Amino acid sequence: MKKYIYLLIALTIAGACSQEEDNAPGNPVIEPKTELNGAHFGDSLSFTMGVKDDEAPLSTLKAKLYFGDELVSETTIRTRTGGEYTGKLHVPFYANIPNGTATLEFVLTNTHLSTARKTYDLPVTRPDYPYLILVTDGGMYPMTRTGQYTYAATELFPSTDLPAYIKTPIISEWGNEITFGWEGSSIAQGTTAAIPFVSSVAGKFSVTFNTLTYEATPFFEIKINGQKMDMVDKQNFKIDLNLTQGASITVDGIDDIADWWIDADYLTETAAGEFTFVPIAGRYRIMANTTHKYFRVEALSGDNPATLQADGTGAIWVIGDNVGKPSLANIVGWTPANGLCMAPIGNKKYQITLKAGETVDAASINFKFFHQKDWGGEFGHTTLSTASDVVFVGDGATPDYQGNNRDSGNLGLKQPLDPGATYVFVIDVSAGNDAAVLTVTKQ
């Protein structure tokens, strides 16, 4: 959330307020009973206000907090009669917000909608905790202060994988325990979901955290062409790049890259950690999976997975059973999110290379081709044809060699594939998306 405010710390705000009234029926009046001398980010700010209206019944007292022009917190108290009312207003804790002065506004409204307002300049500062606490499944570790907003826990941890979250002590009357955990692909405040800390060395190492920037270490870091890949979780990383055919790609940060499976449709290895890019120029997402040890590549349109366009450009996706990369241990299945992007090789042709018994089942196949990485446009038997003597495009009636029918567009085998043999599947849509041609070549 972008809330950039530039503020100066003040010691007190006594007298730094104003009251406004309107001309609607009644005469609401706010009388402060609490001296508000500032707050920390993350506090529950307590206040007491005297309210009255000698001419009309009261309705509500609202407390509002603004960072700049943006309302960031609000609370409402019912005020049917005059008197003193106490409430709390949460002061948000955000990353990268400097210390300074927020605006605190109280609005008293009567039943005729007549209002009175008081506004204050409220100094807000980031708490500089004396320590933090690292919470793991195996126990809690103190994180000592190493500088302003920076903390470290240096221990003989039980594993290089250290899922954990971080929490703060409560250091003031209005303070709250603040937690920092994992949300999406980064550290966020207000969650205890485990942060996927991973050390490159076993034994004693340090876990660090900055409560201003939310920067932390250690994480497994992979770079493509010198650019850091974003961590999705501790097994998956991604980066979006504009690439040209034949472009050089270097990978840093993977010590065992010689053991990784390389998708020949997208990458040709020239040396350890060095590759050339195979498909046509475009925008692509490269994903590194450290569990299966492979790079998954997808064509993009902007920041989203590409789709097949009416003119035959874009992308074609493989979804279904008996196929998976880097092996059948990571099968696609009928889950669109797992769909494989065929490599665009130019002239409105798309390619996927499969190895029998490794990335495609040698005895049976049942997958099909889609216009997007989701349900929707797809190739059926009326829009996709093949003269292959190995596979056929299902029409709902023709069985495979084992006697099993295939739905429209689903591929079946006319005969078993040769175990260990490589088969190149190419779809050509140059004659139109409704006249696509599939060729299957055994290498």
How many Å apart are CA 101 and CA 159, to the nearest integer?
A: 44
* Boundaries of every domain in the chain: 17-125, 131-217, 220-305, 310-443
Q: In the predicted model, is pLDDT for residue 8 greater than 50? A: no
> Tell me: the pLDDT tens digits for 43-89?
999 999 999 999 999 999 999 999 999 999 999 999 989 999 999 99
Question: What does each C-alpha distance from 301 to 177, 239, 263, 337, 366 come to in angstroms?
Answer: 43, 14, 21, 16, 28
Q: For residue 359, which of 272, 264, 276 has the smallest C-alpha distance?
A: 264
CATH number attached to the domain at 220-305: 2.60.40
The topology under which CATH files domain 310-443 is Immunoglobulin-like (2.60.40)
Q: What is the pLDDT of residue 24?
A: 61
The topology under which CATH files domain 17-125 is Immunoglobulin-like (2.60.40)
Q: What is the pLDDT of residue 235?
A: 86
Q: What is the pLDDT of residue 395?
A: 97
Residue at 203: amino acid letter: G
- The pLDDT-based confidence of 255 (bands split at 50, 70, 90) is confident
Q: Is the dihedral of CA 399, 404, 410, 413 positive or negative?
A: negative
The answer to whether the 17-125 and 220-305 domains have the same CATH topology is: yes
What DSSP line would sit under 387-434, residue for residue? --SSEEE--SS-B-TTS-B--TT-EEESS---TT-EEEEEEE-TT-TT
> Tell me: the pLDDT tens digits for 355-386?
999 999 999 999 999 999 999 999 999 999 99
How many Å apart are CA 156 and CA 153, to the nearest integer?
A: 10
